[in-house]
């Protein structure tokens, strides 16, 4: 829900020492879960048969904490039952005999597989032995039998919390109407307008934070474009409430760190590019980004101003300009003998405006209008260049894009996002061409380990199709290069500095599969190794364009990520041609 006042920390009003309070509550929380999981709640007479003895019942002995008596009677009982095993295992657990208790609970589970008490008790034993993955498995089994069990949901949320999986923790805590927010802390306090910061959080203090609100808050903060790294954490208070801690690193440009700012400005020097940037102007998340490339073969100037509208991160704007002067040499390969398919000089000037919106925690959409002018010079005839592709003049294009997280499984740390994009353009030339470009992308992510990000698997599949007569610079391109985001890492888009050595066409399909393994980590710096497989094809009715066959590239990249920025050194091999590609690129 939206907050109507600035969130602050509840600590200032507390008379309890914050550190000692947190440790005390965490200890109490762990003790409560483990103790209850060991002993369990005794079954009611109306719902379960009470095991009877010659004398007091097992339930009566249980209530009196007569653990040794329960064990003695259970071991001499000639008619074992699920109830007897429940009390027997509980008594063993109370005495700290974990392995024996596990065996007895497993035996009881076999006698009555529909009894949800046994997986809960097995989870308690595993929890006490710090076998959290085993505890999670048993609690899931218990919730399949009784999904509304408040205790099992609370227990599972706590185990996920201790594993560092906050999303999964909230998923199950929410079923138990937890956790209630006492206050919100900032570490450090962002340099940001108070109203804008307040609107960036979808939850408020004195309320229960929902998983959907955490995800929506994450989206709003990302949309501001000033937090390259941030995370959330919960800290417990003795009254059962929690503080939400927002840990963040904020882009401040030259005000943050001159060395980092200089590095970010000059990070593109190997590609004859600099990136003048300014972030969080007026402390209102207005960001100016630009790039100036003086490469004689592909000059380019880009500039963009973006930010939230009316101090609301759910609505944003973007204004930009893009000027290009590029020499293209269309070749059949980026290395070795190659057939010339034509050449040209492209000059293109464009201005655009964009509106974006966040609709809840699952849907983002945007609308953009672009006015451009293109001119083709120094044309070298070839089979890839037709008269319709070389249409000159002004063009008006509108673009609509929608992104959605259609499936998220925080338990297994998986998610699937989809992106749909539609572009409609009209070129004012002699023939007045109109065209439509449709593109769809699906991105699957999986963190295989129960905690941390040392391993990550990602599959990205996209497809594009065009209709009508489109100009040359609107073609799709498969390859690795600074201006292209459809990566085939065994193909490079330039040769001798000129673009045009990667497959071009009207329709394409591309799949990128890679697995990241963190090799080294030091503070904010990560070194990552990533084997990959890229598969794709691109087609066009023009004989000199397209790939004509399916392409497969395999290889590996070495990535360095630091300060919200990344660079990758990749090696890819085209299995069809045998060509090898080594390339350094800025990470998208």
Task: Please name which of 299, 271, 302, 327 lies closest in space to residue 499, comparing C-alpha atoms.
Answer: 327
Domain 12-176 and domain 353-586, same fold? Reply is no
CB of 3 closer than 8 Å to CB of 201: yes
Q: How far apart are CA 354 and CA 405, in angstroms?
A: 22
Q: How far apart are CA 193 and CA 209, in angstroms?
A: 23
Q: How far apart are CA 543 and CA 549, in angstroms?
A: 13
Q: How far apart are CA 346 and CA 198, in angstroms?
A: 46
> Right CATH number for 353-586 from 3.10.105.10, 3.40.50.1820, 1.10.10.10, 2.40.160.50?
2.40.160.50
Residues 6+ apart with CB under 8 A from 546: 503, 504, 505, 538, 539, 540
Q: What is the DSSP track for 114-140? A: T-THHHHHHHHHHHHTT-HHHHHHHHH
3-state class (DSSP) for residue 304 = strand
Instruction: Supply the pLDDT for residue 181.
Output: 95
Number of other residues whose CB lies within 10 A of the CB of residue 200: 27
Apex 256 CA angle, 250 and 258, nearest 5: 140
Instruction: Supply the pLDDT for residue 257.
Output: 79
CATH H-level superfamily of 12-176: Tetratricopeptide repeat domain (1.25.40.10)
Instruction: Supply the pLDDT for residue 565.
Output: 84
3-state class (DSSP) for residue 61 = helix
3-state class (DSSP) for residue 40 = coil
Instruction: Supply the pLDDT for residue 254.
Output: 78
Residues 6+ apart with CB under 8 A from 475: 389, 504, 505, 506, 540, 545
Instruction: Supply the pLDDT for residue 588.
Output: 64
Kindly give the confidence (pLDDT) of every residue in the chain, 588 residues in length, as a single tens digit, with 9 standing for 90 and above.
333 333 333 333 333 444 444 444 444 454 444 444 444 443 333 334 445 445 578 889 999 999 999 999 999 887 779 999 999 999 999 999 999 999 999 999 999 999 999 999 999 999 999 999 999 999 999 999 999 999 999 999 999 999 999 999 999 999 999 999 999 999 999 999 999 999 999 999 899 999 999 999 999 999 999 999 899 999 988 888 999 999 999 987 777 778 888 988 999 999 999 999 999 999 999 999 999 999 999 999 999 999 999 999 999 999 999 999 999 999 999 999 999 999 999 999 999 999 999 998 889 999 999 999 999 999 999 999 998 899 899 999 999 999 999 999 999 999 999 999 999 999 887 667 899 999 999 999 999 999 889 999 999 999 999 999 999 999 999 999 879 999 999 999 999 999 999 999 999 999 999 999 999 998 889 999 999 999 999 999 998 899 989 999 999 999 999 877 899 999 999 999 999 999 999 886
What are the residue ranges spanned by the domains of the chain?
12-176, 353-586
């Amino acid at each position: 829900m939206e907050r109507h006042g600035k969130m602050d920390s509840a600590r200032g009003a507390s008379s309890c020492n914050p550190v000692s309070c947190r440790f005390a509550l965490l200890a109490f929380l762990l003790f409560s879960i483990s103790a209850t999981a060991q002993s369990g709640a005794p079954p009611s007479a109306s719902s379960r048969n009470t095991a009877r003895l010659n004398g007091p019942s097992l339930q009566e002995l249980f209530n009196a904490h007569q653990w040794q008596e329960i064990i003695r009677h259970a071991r001499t009982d000639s008619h074992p039952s699920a109830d007897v095993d429940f009390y027997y295992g509980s008594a063993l657990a109370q005495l700290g005999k974990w392995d024996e208790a596990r065996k007895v609970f497993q035996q009881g589970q076999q006698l009555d597989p529909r009894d949800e008490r046994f997986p809960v008790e097995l989870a308690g034993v595993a929890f006490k032995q710090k076998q959290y993955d085993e505890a999670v498995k048993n609690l899931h089994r218990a919730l399949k039998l009784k999904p509304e069990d408040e205790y099992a949901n609370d227990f599972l949320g706590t185990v996920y919390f201790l594993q560092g999986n906050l999303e999964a923790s909230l998923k199950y805590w929410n079923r138990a109407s937890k956790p209630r927010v006492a206050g919100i802390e900032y570490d450090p306090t962002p340099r940001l307008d108070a109203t804008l910061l307040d609107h960036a959080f979808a939850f408020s203090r004195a309320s229960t934070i929902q998983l959907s609100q955490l995800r929506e808050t994450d989206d709003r903060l990302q949309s501001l474009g000033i937090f390259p790294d941030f995370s959330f954490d919960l800290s417990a208070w003795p009254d059962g409430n929690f503080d939400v801690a927002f840990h963040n690193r904020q882009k401040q440009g030259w005000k943050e760190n001159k060395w980092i700012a200089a590095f970010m400005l000059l990070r593109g020097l190997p590609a004859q590019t600099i990136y003048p940037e300014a972030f969080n102007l007026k402390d209102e998340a207005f960001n100016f980004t630009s790039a100036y490339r003086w490469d004689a073969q592909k000059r380019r100037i880009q500039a963009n101003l973006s930010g939230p509208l009316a101090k609301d991160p759910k609505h944003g704007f973007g204004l930009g300009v893009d000027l290009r002067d590029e020499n293209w040499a269309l070749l059949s390969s980026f290395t070795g003998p190659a057939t010339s398919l034509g050449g040209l000089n492209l000059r293109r000037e464009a201005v655009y405006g964009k509106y974006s919106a966040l609709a809840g925690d699952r849907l983002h959409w945007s609308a953009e209008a672009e006015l451009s002018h293109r001119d083709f010079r120094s044309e070298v005839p070839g089979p890839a260049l037709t008269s319709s592709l070389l249409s000159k003049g002004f063009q008006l294009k509108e673009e609509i894009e929608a992104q959605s997280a259609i499936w998220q499984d925080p338990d297994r740390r998986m998610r699937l996002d989809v992106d749909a994009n539609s572009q409609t353009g009209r070129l004012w030339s002699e023939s007045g061409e109109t065209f439509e470009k449709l593109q769809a992308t699906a991105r699957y992510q999986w963190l295989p380990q129960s905690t941390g990000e040392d391993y990550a698997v990602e599959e990205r599949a996209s497809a594009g199709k065009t209709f009508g007569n489109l100009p040359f610079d609107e073609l799709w391109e498969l390859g690795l290069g600074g201006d292209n985001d459809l990566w085939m890492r065994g193909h490079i888009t330039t040769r001798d500095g000129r673009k045009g050595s990667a497959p071009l066409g009207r329709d394409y399909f591309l799949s990128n599969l890679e697995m990241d393994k963190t090799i080294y980590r030091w503070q904010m710096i990560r070194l990552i190794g990533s084997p990959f497989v890229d598969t794709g094809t691109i087609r066009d009715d023009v004989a000199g364009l397209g790939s004509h066959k399916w392409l497969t590239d395999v290889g590996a990249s070495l990535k360095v990520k630091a300060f919200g920025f990344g660079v990758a050194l990749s090696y890819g091999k085209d299995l069809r041609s045998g060509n090898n590609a080594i390339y350094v690129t800025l990470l998208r």
